[in-house]
A and B are shown apart, each in its own frame.
Chain A
Amino acid sequence: MLWLLFFLITAISAELCQPGGKNAFKVRLSIKTALGDKAYVWDTNEEYLFRAMVAFSMRKVPNREATELSHVLLCNVTQRVSFWFVVTDPTSNHTLPAAEVQSAIRMNRNRINNAFLLNDQTLEFLKIPTTLAPPTDPSVPVWIITFGVVFCIVTIAVILLIVSGVRQRRRKNKGPSEVDDSEDKCENAITIENGIPCDSLDTKGGHINEVFLMEDERLTPL
């Protein structure tokens, strides 16, 4: 008698949880991708935890606080680690509407992920879209900061350049008036080139330094 009841219940559950069913969701886990060497094996205990997490999510929905572990059914577990699950309604013998289950899972997605040490990409609910984290835009974009630094440096350098150029010109303008006086004084001095007095060069029959040739002489006008 008890065996018959047991078979009946499992038969009903098997009908309720159909892959591709209207209110069924497919779940896919990629444990090895997420954890590498520390990957755990997916066995019935892990399935139990999963059912507990789904029941927990459903219990947080108002009106569904009575959801129990036995109401969450899993089927078609594969080697990939993927399976289908449904949540049944205790009062009637139907599955809960997909929208309810979806919103419950979305609210508690983070808790479910953490229970399995996975994230949104490695624990996939195939029909439930993830909510992306809000973009962390800093109040001032980074590039503006570096740009401001560069621009300030360039502006300061240009100003310094212009100021030093102006000062140099002022000094040069003052300079020639002083040089004129000294030139008068040096009129009778001996011109020295490379440490050798020029006069002696002429007498020694030195070479003319062609560096100082005026270039116009070399070009005959057409």
Chain B
Amino acid sequence: MASSRGPPTPWAGAGAGDGRPAWGSRLQYLLSCVGFAVGLGNIWRFPYLCQAYGGGAFLLPYAVALALEGIPLFHMELAIGQRLRRGSVGVWTAISPYLGGVGLGCFSVSVLVSLYYNMVLAWVLWYLLNSFQHPLPWSSCPASHNRTGLLAECVGSGPVSFFWFRRTLNISSDMGASGAVQWPLLGCLAASWGVVYLCVSRGIESTGKAIYFTALFPYLVLTVFLVRGLTLPGAADGLAYLFTPDVRVLGSPRVWLDAATQIFFSLSLALGGHIAYASYNPPRNDCEKDAVTIALVNSLTSLYAAVAVFSVLGFKATTDQENCLDRNIILMVNAFELPDQSIPREDYALVLNHLNVTWPERVAQLPLETCLLRDFLHKGASGTGLAFIAFAEALLHMPGAPGWAVLFFGMLFSLGLTSMFGNMESVITPLLDMGVLPRRVPKEALTGLACLTCFLLASCFTLQSGSYWLELFDRYAASINLLVFALLEVLGVAYVYGLDRFCEDVAWMTGRRPGLYWRLSWRLVSPLLLLLVLGASVLLLERFPERRERLYPGWVQAVCVLLSFLPALWVPAVALAQLLRRRTGG
């Protein structure tokens, strides 16, 4: 039907005249997609993976996965959304009624993700609110009841861990013991849902304005942290540890698998958010350029964040090592009655040797610790452990700690907020397209209802066992399902919709036909890669290197399985329903 392949129309602000809301400007659209893709994982998963998998060497599998899997899938999502101008449910129903389940599945996974993602934001908000005081509340242990010493629980674990596990989560001993609702956390959850509702209430009209701040503020803060971090002592050690390539690591398939998985989840593919965002574009927009730009920005942000984070963590490791040496020196000075401050840190090893030679029994009695920088760097954490324990502790050592804490947690909050916009968009756009509520109900009411429902459901994460549940959701709700949906998406587009027809559509939108790289990826490479990753994930059912083994009780394992596979069941269910309708209809 489309004969002339004219150049893309300019962003005049008007849509295609079908009454669909449109972006205020191209920058808003780009920032929204970048904000959705760049989330908390860029700060606390990628740097950890980088250092766990041989530093600079990890960048190679990461770049390969980006080129072969990330960018083609991303381009495909943007192109489909832009062409068919519907949310995830509408798009897949339009491609084939049998594939309608994919859209519904994406929708359910988005709901699940919204639930627990905003809980993490509530934690960040709690830390942010507590950062406006000096000294920071996680800097010291509180006194015990009779005030003869510090609280025993705190002394055992350290004030930072105590603040996280006891004062914030008030964590119960295991998953079965639910405990009571933590009111401060519930308040923070309500506040963060309030902020999300505020920005999402009018759809892209409101997020488009909020996004200028929430998408750009993290970059500003990252730059500030980068500059500050690089000037701290020990930053060079942290960076060297992060980037020293260990090329042997490339031989293990686990690395490639994790790189592919990381790229997939980092770009927030298959959630339906990018489809929803692209559906508000004017039909003739260069989605190929957008896809490549946004994916590259996402990966470069990960790298940028890794440098900032690891320079601060290197500083923390150096400080920890210095404190360890100081403790050892005090033990030696006290035991051997040497003058105060007579052993500088550099001479510690020499003096220890000397004393070991002259009085070995006395030295053996002292509880000296080994203080290797490598050990402290190895304590690198990921996820909440990085943000709320490791980094929070590192902030304590920096002069002007409350200011840095406010900046850091503010950055985490806006990073999470932009991702929440995308999540809510992937929940609300399908609801609007499906026409769940009558037309005359204002959009604010629908969004408000959605936010309220999610808040009430998510309040179970504020229980004392809430963080266990959140970990469960984080690991199982999205991993397998999204891979299944992405595989079905790419197969659906390449084979059901027809790759030639799709390429024509893309050519109509961008003004040039997709090249061999794109066609090969869509038809062959990406589906194969996804199949590999999916197979491996099902076999392993864990996403990245684990630190501890935790055995779940039977009923919890059942919940894990349900979470992992239930949303994917939409696909066969809808296909079956469609089949039955055809049989009875015709």
Contact = CB atoms under 8 A, between A and B. Distances in A.
Interface of A: 28-33, 78-82, 129, 131-132, 134-135, 142-143, 146-147, 150-151, 154-155, 157-158, 161-162, 165-166, 169, 207, 210-213, 215, 217-219, 222
B98 to A, nearest CB: 8
B198 A135 contact: no
B338 interface: yes
B202 interface: yes
Contacts of B184: 143, 147
Given A33-B340, A79-B337, A79-B338, A211 B198 contact: no
Contact of A161 (B283, B341, B444): B444
Nearest to B284: A211
B334 A129 contact: no
Contact of A169 (B96, B143, B333, B442): B442
A33 B94 contact: no
Given A78-B337, A212-B17, A142 B132 contact: yes
A213 B202 CA distance: 27
Contacts of B16: 211-212
Given A78-B337, A158-B198, 5 more contacts: A33-B340, A80-B340, A146-B129, A158-B197, A161-B201
A118 to B, nearest CB: 11
Given A147-B129, A151-B187, A81 B197 contact: no
Interface in B185-232: 187-188, 190-191, 194-195, 197-198, 201-202, 206
Contact of B147 (A29, A33, A134, A222): A134
Interface string B493-521: 00000000000010010000000000000
26 contacts: A32-B341, A79-B337, A132-B143, A132-B147, A132-B148, A132-B149, A134-B143, A135-B142, A135-B143, A142-B132, A142-B133, A146-B132, A147-B191, A151-B190, A151-B194, A154-B194, A161-B201, A165-B444, A166-B442, A207-B4, A210-B4, A211-B17, A212-B16, A212-B17, A215-B84, A219-B94
A212 B2 CA distance: 12
B481 to A, nearest CB: 25
B97 interface: yes
Interface in B63-111: 83-85, 94, 96-97
B402 to A, nearest CB: 10
A158 B444 CA distance: 10
B338 to A, nearest CB: 6
A207 B187 CA distance: 59
A131 B147 contact: yes
B416 interface: no
B9 interface: yes
A58 B2 CA distance: 103
Interface in B1-49: 1-2, 4, 6, 9, 16-18
B187 A81 contact: no
B435 interface: no
Residue of B97, B129, B339 most packed against chain A (CB within 10 A)? B129
Interface residues of B, number: 52
B191 A211 contact: no
A35 to B, nearest CB: 10
Contacts of A222: 96-97
Contacts of A211: 9, 16-17, 282-284
Contacts of B9: 211
A207 B4 CA distance: 9
A222 B334 CA distance: 86
Contact of B340 (A30, A154, A213): A30
Interface in B173-192: 184, 187-188, 190-191
A79 B337 CA distance: 6
Nearest to B501: A218
Contacts of A81: 339-340
B191 A150 contact: yes
B139 interface: no
A30 B444 CA distance: 66
A209 to B, nearest CB: 9
B126 interface: yes
A211 B96 CA distance: 24
A197 to B, nearest CB: 19
B337 A129 contact: no
B319 interface: no
Contact of B194 (A134, A155, A210): A155
Complex A-B, nearest 3 residue pairs according to Cβ-Cβ distance, in ascending order? A78-B337, A154-B194, A143-B129
Interface in B296-343: 333-334, 337-341
B130 interface: yes
Contacts of B133: 142-143
A212 B17 CA distance: 7
Contacts of A80: 333-334, 337-340
B188 A215 contact: no
Contacts of A162: 444
B426 to A, nearest CB: 21
Nearest to B14: A211
A129 B339 CA distance: 24
A150 B16 CA distance: 40
Contact of B148 (A129, A151, A158, A161): A129
A28 to B, nearest CB: 7
A211 B16 CA distance: 6
A52 to B, nearest CB: 23
A154 B143 contact: no
A164 to B, nearest CB: 10
A82 B334 CA distance: 9
A146 B4 CA distance: 59
B85 A142 contact: no
Given A78-B337, A150-B191, A169-B442, A217 B1 contact: yes
